[in-house]
Structure 1
Amino acid sequence: MARFDPFREVDRLLSDVTRTPVAAAMPMDLYRDGDTFVVAVDLPGVDPSTIDIDMDGATVTIRAERTSGAPDGAQWLARERAVGTFARQLTLGRGLATDQIGADYSDGVLTLTIPVAETAKPRKIQVQHTGQGRQIEGTVVDDAPSGQDEQQA
């Protein structure tokens, strides 16, 4: 006789309702390539016209919709591919050029390129040396490297 496990039944019902977790429906890779961050989101079978990317402050929201493609009234024998509208949010840190984000959808992969802002890139600061003379007890001393340019005042 099979034992009834109420927790297993609740898990089964919830998994039917929620379908697929967002991370499984929209898996992504994130890496840095020089001065650009790259986000690659797998969206196979998604119509490119349903992809929507919004920027609100430091948050990027990606939305996409995948339909089953099966005719209405089809008898499902197995249904493992997630369908519906999916969304994923990324919170960006400081120092990124959010006004220059690029997006491309090719071969089922949405690729966002996020450049590092010019102000956040490491840079060298040049030290300026002003060679102004200074007067010590009636003698003008020039700070030139030779040190031999003294004049009587």
Structure 2
Amino acid sequence: MLLTSATVRELDRLTARVFDSSSRSTGARLDAYRIDDTFHIDIDLPGVDPAGIDITVDRKVLTVRAERKRAEGENVKYVVAERPTGPVSRQVFLSDTLDTDRLDARYENGVLTLSIPVRAKAAPRKIEVSAGTAAS
């Protein structure tokens, strides 16, 4: 069997798809960190329209959904198409100490940054016991 250069290129592409599982993953990469009284989550979402990002919090589970799309049109003819497309999602389990009612979301340079204030812990308080006579 004679392999042409086109066949070799196609085999290279198929091999890359099989072994490059990170490019086909539906999970977005993230960093999570705390600065003072705010918890931050940075999620990489390059090439995503910010208007199409869906963020929900349900029972302390934060879910982020988005979709990467390619340019489409009658005149668009791809020569190379390596960037992953399709739906992207990520779930994060949040602590009860976070105030998700005040969650702030910003999208800049392909990174979605979520900032969630840490709730002020209830200060311990001393309960005084009064002494008295028992009713007879």
TM-score (ref. length: structure 2): 0.68
Aligned mates of 1:100, 1:43 — CA distance in 2: 22
Aligned mates of 1:73, 1:91 — CA distance in 2: 44
- TM-superposed CA distance for 1:49, in Å, is 1.1
Among residues 59, 62, 77, which one is paired with 1:60 in the alignment?
A: 62
Give per-residue Cα distances to partners, 1:39-88, cap 9 Å, x unaligned.
Answer: 01111111111100011101010001111114358544322211111111
List 4+ stretches of structure 1 deviating above 4 A: 72-75
Change (3 A) 1:74 1:55: same
Aligned mates of 2:18, 2:62 — CA distance in 1: 27
Aligned mates of 1:126, 1:119 — CA distance in 2: 12
Task: Give the match for residue 47 of structure 1.
Answer: 49
Aligned mates of 1:59, 1:73 — CA distance in 2: 42
Task: Give the match for residue 148 of structure 1.
Answer: none
Structure showing greater relative contact order (alpha-carbon pairs closer than 8 Å, 6 or more residues apart): 2
Task: Give the match for residue 121 of structure 2.
Answer: 119
- TM-superposed CA distance for 1:119, in Å, is 2.3
Task: Give the match for residue 82 of structure 1.
Answer: 84
Among residues 99, 102, 114, which one is paired with 2:101 in the alignment?
A: 99
| 2:24 is aligned with 1:20 | yes
Alignment of 1:125-140 (within 5 A): none
TM-score (ref. length: structure 1): 0.62
Counterpart residue identity of residue 24, structure 2: T
- TM-superposed CA distance for 1:109, in Å, is 1.2
Aligned mates of 2:67, 2:24 — CA distance in 1: 14
Change (3 A) 1:74 1:15: farther
RMSD, matched Cα = 3.0
Counterpart residue identity of residue 26, structure 2: V
Aligned length: 114
Long gaps (5+) in structure 1 = 2-10, 128-153
